[in-house]
Structure 1
Amino acid sequence: MTRVVAGSTYRDAVLAALGELVDSLDEVFASLVRPLLANPGKLLRSELVWLTASAGDPRRPALVRFGALVELLHIATLVHDDVIDRAATRRGVPAAHRQGGQELAVLAGTACFAAVGLEAADLGAAIATAVSRTVGELSYGELLDIERGFDPGVPTEDYLELTRCKTGALFQLSCVLGATASGLPGLVTAGLAEFGARYGIAFQVLDDCLDLHANGTGKPAGTDHLLGLFGLPTLCALRGREPAATQLRDLLLSPDLAVTDLPRISDLIAESGGLVAAHEVARTELAAALTVLDNLRDELPAPALNALTEFANRTAGAP
């Protein structure tokens, strides 16, 4: 993101505002969250705020605040997700619960949610409502994720619904905030929101595929299998080619499953066709998102439409 806002890039402005939000927390909580700002990642959610807003005439100060808001909300989910997944690292540093213990990490994540709520309330009732609805969807998605533990028979449709809540909801909010900053009409905002949700599904399915390999995120590859949390490649593989599918099922449900089994799990997923099937789902979901976007062709300026299309293909385009 190289767009300039008040003399600095939008990315830099968002990071500065995000730092201020984190600094507003009690220092005990801020100290657990601040390491994640040193390696903030791609900031895709705030970039989507900008790109969506470019369809109109955005209010620049609001854009920066909206961008920081969605990034802090993302951080809050990561902190809690790492507690649930027992992840050792995040973005190349020890996870918050490894730094301060599980109890403080849960409280730090909750403090981030509270800071998001205060910021949203200051931005207006409509924003507060949208953020509250998103937090509810994120929480429900996390609950669905936990409930499916060690279930090798989760249907693809159920998993995609889980993903729409757990991942798609925050991308959907990013689109809503961008559209709000530009004052876009309600029907256009609703269409962009649907694009964000569908894009988020494609993004997560592709991320499931990437999670089977070392990918520089700082989170060990495939460790969710140890908790019985199976991504779409694994679920597809369990319904895939034999004998790999049966061997995979037996290994995943073995009481002796260990970290040393993760490379074999990745091999079996590939052998049974799970990766290929999941990539195809990602392509299908991305195509659905782009169709929603194309339906807005008469409502959006060509540069904004092209930028959103490029963003989706660049960040969620499955090979």
Structure 2
Amino acid sequence: MSRPYEHRVTDRLNAAASELDESVRPLVSRLIDQPGKRLRSTLLAACVPGTGVDPAPLGALVELVHVASLLHDDIIDRAAVRRGLPAAHVVAGEERATLAGLACFALAGKLAADLGPGVSMAVSAAVAELSVGELLDVQRAFDTELSIEDYLELVTRKTGELFRLPCVLGALAAGADRATAAVLAEFGLELGVAFQIMDDCLDLRVGQDVDKPVGTDHQLGLFGAPTLFALRVDEDGSLRRTLLSSSFGAHDMPGVRSMVLDRGGFASATHLARERHANALVILNRLEDEDLRASLRTVGMAMWQDVT
């Protein structure tokens, strides 16, 4: 009997990691061994129902790109923990963690080239978008005037692109026509944006995440959708002053959550997330293939339930 899809993805990721230099291999392998939800490879598999195509090679590829992005994200966000373990930069220092991320991006490029020019072009374009997104993330730090539109551009280039890529690759694997491929890419992008907005809501509402100490993003000046919506109606300026205070720390987060809630930040962000998720599902109505439409709708709803 064939090994389950998620195991085949892991097998291919481990095989890929074995090609890395031993100085960075352990930093990558520990993320492979603690796989998370594997949302992106799951999304890719949903793009090829009934085609007989084995999605595992491309599934492993998108997860490798994701691992690379996590290694760099944790450095930028100063996250101390990733998937229940100390983050790579905590274990080995920022230099080695940065090199590990670069090695993963380079290896992803090599694997993509082996899978064909279309795959290579798609991965290169996605990595370029991710790089711009990371740059925007740094540039926007402590910008309490950041518009929701600019925030959405950032989210689109990061999380949106990491959801778009598996759909683009899935379309290539399935031999989809141009119109179908465009719909899949648009769906992935919209789903990724909705996912990130709701994830922002959950991170702030719960007040802690297994991968980050309380208030880490806010201490770095990286404000999610709920906080940005609240800042738009921060008439007395108290939320803004708190966020920009030189003494701001984790101890201020209960007050920040309260102010964001009182100003309707959670409600506005949740509404936007639901709106974008609904848009993603509507996009699927343009697909002629009923099996493909049903497959993606099922995955889209399952992912949504994970963050609501």
- Interval containing the TM-score (normalised by the shorter chain): over 0.9
The SS at the match of 2:24 is helix
Structure 1 unaligned blocks of 5 or more: 1-5
Query: What is the CA RMSD across the aligned residues, in angstroms?
Result: 1.6
The SS at the match of 1:28 is coil
Counterpart amino acid of residue 96 in structure 1: A
Residue 134 (str. 1) matches residue 129 (str. 2): no
Deviates more, 1:309-318 or 1:85-94: 309-318
Aligned pairs (5 A) from 1:120-131: 120-131=112-123
Counterpart amino acid of residue 200 in structure 1: G
Aligned to 2:169: 177
Contact 1:13 1:64 in 2 (8 A): yes
For residue 57 of structure 1, the aligned residue among 51, 56, 63 is 51
Aligned to 2:18: 23
Aligned to 2:3: 8
Aligned to 1:293: 284
The SS at the match of 1:151 is coil
Aligned to 1:261: 252
Q: Relative to 1, partners in 2 of residues 1:58 and 1:140: Cα closer, same or farther, differing over 3 Å?
A: farther
**How far did 1:255 drift?**
0.8
Query: When the two structures are superposed, what TM-score results if normalisation uses the length of structure 1?
Result: 0.92
The SS at the match of 1:228 is coil
Aligned to 1:273: 264
For residue 307 of structure 1, the aligned residue among 292, 295, 305 is 295
Residue 43 (str. 1) matches residue 38 (str. 2): yes
Aligned to 2:156: 164
Structure 2 unaligned blocks of 5 or more: none
Aligned length: 306
Query: When the two structures are superposed, what TM-score results if normalisation uses the length of structure 2?
Result: 0.95
Counterpart amino acid of residue 169 in structure 1: E
Counterpart amino acid of residue 294 in structure 2: N
Aligned to 1:3: none
The SS at the match of 1:8 is coil
For residue 28 of structure 2, the aligned residue among 26, 33, 36 is 33
Aligned pairs (5 A) from 1:219-234: 219-234=212-227
- Measured in 1, the distance between the counterparts of 2:43 and 2:180 equals 15
**How far did 1:58 drift?**
4.0
- Measured in 1, the distance between the counterparts of 2:194 and 2:85 equals 27
Counterpart amino acid of residue 262 in structure 1: M
- Measured in 2, the distance between the counterparts of 1:308 and 1:174 equals 12
**How far did 1:185 drift?**
1.0
- Measured in 2, the distance between the counterparts of 1:160 and 1:249 equals 20
**How far did 1:36 drift?**
1.4
Counterpart amino acid of residue 225 in structure 1: H
Contact 2:46 2:295 in 1 (8 A): yes
User: Which runs of 4 or more aligned residues in structure 1 lie more than 6 Å from their structure 2 counterparts after TM superposition?
Assistant: none
Tell me the percent identity.
47
For residue 101 of structure 2, the aligned residue among 88, 99, 109 is 109
- Measured in 2, the distance between the counterparts of 1:191 and 1:139 equals 24
